[in-house]
Structure 1
C-alpha cells in the first residue's frame, strides 16, 4: 500500500525534463521564454532534444537550461523524457519532484507562480495541468470508453512515485513508440489509470469536470486562460479546421484572451508561421481583417517609410493606380516600371500633372515575367536598400483574357481590398505598426468568377515545392489551396520577402509567355510570398472591406450549401472525411463509381488489383507498341 500523498516540501528540489524537437535543428523563442520561467522554479532543467541541434541553438538553450541532451528523433517526446530519466539515473533521488514536459505549449502566461504555489500545497503523488475527460465512444478507436487521464504534455511526479519500483518498471517496460498513436494509446491514456490503480494519487490543476468539453485544452482553451492557466497548448492552431468548425472552436477568441493576459504575441506568430500551413493558420486563427473606411487605428506619430512599386503595362491606367496609391497615409516614394520607352513617356505625362508625395522614378524593364520580374529584378536595389519599412506592390490589372464582368470584379477585388480609401489604407498600414512580426497583407483568395476553391494549386504545387527547396523554405505547404496573393498585389515588409528578393533572378528565367502558364515561374512565384515570409517568422494577414465581405460571404454560403446538398454526413467534418476517402470522382462513368465504391468499402483492393494486373497491362502495352511499329514500316 502506498504512503499518504505528500505535499511539495518547503525549500524542496524540483527537476524539469523538457523534451523538444525542431525540424530545422533550431530553438524557437517561445521555448527559451518557457525554459527561463521554469528555471526560476527548478533546481535543474534538463532539455532533451530529439534530432539535431545547431551550435547557435545549443548556445541559446544553455543560457536557460542546466544541461542539453541531444538524441535521435525516435519515440516522440515520451522517449525523450525516458532518455532524460535514464540520463539523470540515480540522481533522481535528489529531487522532491520531477516535471516531465515538452514544447507543445506556449507559456507562461503571466507566470508559473500561482500554479506551483497551489500545486505545492496539494497532497498528491503526481499531477498535471489539464486532463482529458472520459469520452464515449473513444474518439481514437470509435468504440469503447476513453478513460479520463492527465494530458502528458505536463506530468509532475513526487519522490514517493518516482522512487518507487512501480515507476521504474513502468518506464523500463514501455514499448517502442513508432507512431503518434502509439504514444497516446500506450502512454498518455493509460499512465493515469495505471498508477491510480497501484494506489498513487493524481490530480489535474484544471480538471475536465470544470469545463463543457472533455478536452478543454483543444476546444475551449480560452476558458482555461480565463481561469488562470499559465500554459496554452499549440495544437488548436494547427488542428484540422473542419474539426474545430464542428466544435465551434474560435481560436481568435483564445488569442485575444492570450494577448489580454500579456503574453508576448510575437512569440506565438513567429513559431506558428514557421510550422503551420499558412492557410490552416489563417483559418484557425481567423486572420482575415475586415477594415473600416474610417481611420480608427493609424498612428501618425509613427509613420512607416513606404515604397510603392507600380508595374504599368497599360498607361491609360496610370491615374487610376496613382489615385489608389494616394490613399496611403503620409508620404511615399514611387517607382514605376514599364516595358518600353513609349509607355514610359505616356506615364511621365500623367506623373507630371500630379503632385508627388516623395521621390518618383520611372524604370524601363524587360517584360518577360511582367510584374513579377519588374518587382524582383527591376526594383531589387530598392527592396534591399534598407530604406523602407513597407512596400506596396501594385500593377495595371486588366486580365484581358477573361470576360468583362469577371475581369472587372477581379480588378475591383484587388484594388478596393488593398487601397480602398484613405481611411481603409490607414487602417491597413496600422496593422504593420501594431504587429512587428506581420510580414505581408493582401486580399482574400479570388473565387467569384474563378474556380480557385480547392483547386488553386493547379499545376503549381510541385514547382513551388522545388522552388522552396532552392530558397531554403521549410514551411509546410497547404494541402488544398495555398495562402497566396492571387492577383499578385500586396503590402509587405521588404525584410519578410528577403528570401525571394535576394535570389539572383534573371529575366531569362521567366521565358516570356511560358512563365504565365500553370507551372511556369510567374505562377509559381505568385504562390510563394507567404511561405517565404513565414520561413523568416513573419505571418500573413488577409484584408477585406465590409462591402466585399458581404458579396463574398453570400457567394460562399450558397456554394457550400449546394455542395452539401447531396453529400452524406452529419456535419462538414464527416462530409470532408467522406469526400477525401472517396477520392477523385472522375466524370461519372461506371468505372469511376466502381473505384469510389472500392475506395470506400474495400480500401486497398484497388492497389491489390493493380498489382495483379500489372504484368497483363505491361504485356498489352508491349503488343500495342509492336503493332504501331509494324504499321509504320514501308
Structure 2
C-alpha cells in the first residue's frame, strides 16, 4: 500500500509524523511490524540500508534510530536543568509494541506543533527518547554515539561516522553557519572524501539539492569547495577524456596583451575555439592575424562590439549571446586584457596574475581544471578565490552593488539567497563556465544603454553587478562554484590571510573566533563608538546545539547616520585620495 499525503508545509517534521501516524490509526489493525519516521534532513543511503536493517533486526528494542545526541547540562535551550540523551528523529523506527500502545497514542495526541525550529526540537526530538525510556521501553541506535566524545556526532563527528558507515549524511553540515563547525572542528570535507572512497552513492544528488537552499559562502566554506591544483596532471596515467567542445572567449581591448592571452590558451591540451571581441575593425584584423596557425585552435570568431559600453561584460552577454544560448560549447574560459590603470601598478599586476595564473597556469594545471569539470558535472563555474592582497575586499566586496543585485535577482527570477558580507563572485570577470549554468544571463535582453558609458566603469554599474551575479545565476541553475588556485599562489594567499587574521585577533580579547566576532559585531552595531561598552558575549552555552548567539539590537537612526558618514569618508579616501587631500587643505585654509 502506498499513499502520498499533500499538506501545508507547517509544523516542521513533527506534525507530518503525527498526521501519518493518525492516518494508519497507530496501527490499530496490526498491519505493521515497524513504522519509520524519516525526514528530508539527510542524504542517503550513503551505504546500503540492507546493512542498517540487517543489524537492527538482531537488536532487541522497542524503538531505534541511526544516531543520537548526548545528554547536556544545563539544557542549552533553557539555560537550566538538563537536555536528555535522545535519538535524532530524522530517522526513527518504532516497533509494534510501542506503536500500538496507549502511551504512544497519548504522546502524539498532546503534540500541537511549533512555529520555530528550536521549539519543534524541544516539543518532540529532545523529549521522545527520555519519555518512553522512563515508561520502560527500550531504545537503541545503529551507531554507538557515546564513543565519539562529542554531544552531536551526526554533525560534529560527521567524518568519523562516515568511517563507521553511517548511511545518513546530515544536510545541515553543508549550509550551517561555519562558525559553529569551526568551533568544533567538524570535518565535512573529510566526510566527503571518505564517502567518495568507500561508497557508490551518486554524489551529484547532494550538490544539485544543497544549492537550492544554501548560501554559497557558507557552502563553499563548510564543504571546502576550493581546489589547490598542481602544475602536473594529477591523473597522469589516464588518457584525456572527451571534455566536449571547449572555447576561450576573450575581450581584447589592449592588443599589446594579446600574445599573453594566447600563451595562456596554449596550455589547453585539446582543440578549442577562440572567440574574441574588440572595439575596432583594425584590432579585429590584428587579432585574426595573430591567432592564425596557432596550435590547438579550431574555429576562430572575432567580433567588433557595437558600442564600447560595459567593456568585457557587455561584450560577453550581448555580443556573444548567440554563441552560448545553445549547447554548442560545453566549457568556456572567459578572459580579457586587464590592466587596471586606476590602481597602483603593483596591485594591478598582482590582480592580473591572480586571474591568469589561477585559470590557465600551465598545461598540467589547465588539464587538471578540465578534469575537474569532467569528473564533477555539478560544477558550473570555476573562479579564482577572492583577491585580497592589496585590496580591501574581505567583508566589503559588495561595495555599492548589493542594491542593484537584489533588483536583478528579482528580474532574473533567481531563487537563491545572497551572502550577507562577502559574495562568492567572479571578481576580475575572468572564469571558467558551463554555458548552461549561465543561461539566464545570456537569455536576458540586455541593451548597451543598461551599461555605464565610458569612462564611468564604476561600482553600482551593471558590469560590476554582473561580476557578483555570475555564481548565483549558476547556483539558481543547480550548479556549484569551485574556487581554483595554483599551489604557489595558494601558499602566498594563505600566509597573508594568516598574518592579517592573527594581527586583528591580537588586538582583541583572547577568545575563540565566534567570541571575537561577537565582540566586534556589537561594536559595529553601536556605530563604532569609542565610549560604547564592548561585552564579550558568553556564546558557549548556546553554541552547543548549533544555535549561534542572537544578534545585538539594531543601531539607532543617529548611530546609523554616523556609520554612513564614516563609511563615505573611508570610501572617498580609498577611491579618490586626491579629493580627500583637497578637502583637508580647504579645511586648514578656512581654519
Q: Same fold (TM over 0.5)?
A: yes
Match of 2:95 among 132, 143, 158: 158
Aligned positions, number: 542
CA distance in 2, matches of 1:537, 1:557: 33
Aligned with 2:371 (options 427, 430, 433): 430
User: Cα deviation per residue 1:531-562 (whole Å; 9 max; x = unaligned)?
Assistant: 11112211111111111011101110011011
Question: What are the within-5 Å matches in structure 2 for residues 207-226 of structure 1?
Answer: 207-226=144-163
Task: Tell me how far 1:101 sits from its aligned partner.
Answer: 1.0
The residue number in structure 2 matching 1:270 is: 208
Which one of 383, 406, 418 corresponds to residue 347 of structure 2? 406
Pair 1:240 & 2:240 matched: no
Do the aligned residues in 1 keep the contact of 2:382 with 2:483 (CA within 8 Å)?
yes
Q: CA deviation at 1:258?
A: 1.4
Are the counterparts in 1 of residues 71 and 151 from structure 2 also a CA contact under 8 Å?
yes
Q: Choose from 438, 441, 446 the match for 1:497.
A: 438
Q: Is the 8 A contact 2:154 2:161 kept in 1?
A: yes
Distance 2:326 2:257 in 1: 28
CA distance in 2, matches of 1:608, 1:377: 43
CA distance in 1, matches of 2:412, 2:272: 30
Unaligned ranges ≥5, structure 2 = 539-549, 559-591
Distance 1:342 1:607 in 2: 57
> Cα distance, 1:152 vs. partner?
1.1
Please give the residue correspondences for 1:255-334 in structure 2 after superposition, counting only pairs within 5 Å: 255-260=192-197, 261-297=199-235, 299-334=239-274
Between the aligned partners of 1:462 and 1:169, the Cα distance in structure 2 is 52
Q: Could you tell me how far apart the structure 2 residues matched to 1:294 and 1:417 are?
A: 14
Partner of residue 183 from structure 1, selected from 81, 98, 120: 120
Distance verdict in 2 for CA 1:327–1:483, change over 3 Å: same
Question: For the residues of structure 2 that align with 1:582 and 1:174, how far apart are their CA atoms?
Answer: 42
What is the rounded CA distance, in whole Å, between the counterparts of 1:279 and 1:605 in structure 2?
23
Shift of 1:67: 1.9
The alpha carbon displacement at 1:143 in A equals 4.4
With over 3 angstroms needed to count, the CA separation of the structure-2 counterparts of 1:357 and 1:263, relative to structure 1, is: same
1:155-554 → structure 2 map (5 Å cutoff): 155-260=92-197, 261-297=199-235, 299-352=239-292, 354=294, 357-365=297-305, 366-513=307-454, 516-554=457-495
Aligned residue in 1 for 2:578: none
- Report if the CA contact (8 A) 1:369-1:515 is conserved: no
Using the TM superposition, give the Cα deviation of residue 518 of structure 1 relative to its aligned residue in structure 2, in angstroms.
2.3
Match of 1:147 in 2: 84
What displacement does 1:128 show? 1.0
User: Relative to structure 1, is the Cα distance of residues 405 and 586 closer, same or farther in structure 2, using a 3 angstrom cutoff?
Assistant: farther
1:513 to 1:597, Cα distance in 2 relative to 1, 3 A: farther
Q: CA deviation at 1:569?
A: 5.0
Q: Could you tell me which of 74, 95, 98 is aligned with 2:10?
A: 74
Q: Is the 8 A contact 2:18 2:108 kept in 1?
A: yes
Deviations 1:443-472 (A, max 9, x none): 000001111111111222232222122222
Tell me if structure 1 keeps the 8 A contact 2:213–2:417: yes
Deviation at 1:121, TM superposition (A): 2.2
Cα distance in 2, alignment partners of residues 169 and 307 from structure 1: 65
RMSD: 2.4
Q: Is the 8 A contact 2:525 2:553 kept in 1?
A: no
Confirm or deny: 8 A CA contact 1:136 1:146 kept in the other structure.
yes
CA distance 1:126–1:371, change in 2 (3 Å):
same
TM-score, scaled to structure 1: 0.81
TM-score for both structures, normalised by structure 2? 0.87
1:112 Cα deviation after fit: 0.6
SS in 2 for 1:409: helix
Aligned positions of 1:28-177 closer than 5 A = 44=1, 66-89=2-25, 91=27, 93-177=30-114
Task: Quote how far apart the aligned CAs of 1:503 are.
Answer: 1.3
**Counterpart secondary structure, 2:93:** strand
- SS of aligned partner of 2:119: helix
Distance 1:520 1:599 in 2: 40
Query: Runs of 5+ in structure 1 lacking a partner?
Result: 1-43, 45-65, 612-634
**TM superposition shift of 1:282:** 0.9
Cα separation, partners in 2 of 1:122 and 1:363, compared to 1, 3 Å = same
Residue 515 of structure 1 contacts residue 521 of structure 1 at CA under 8 Å; is this kept in 2? Answer: no
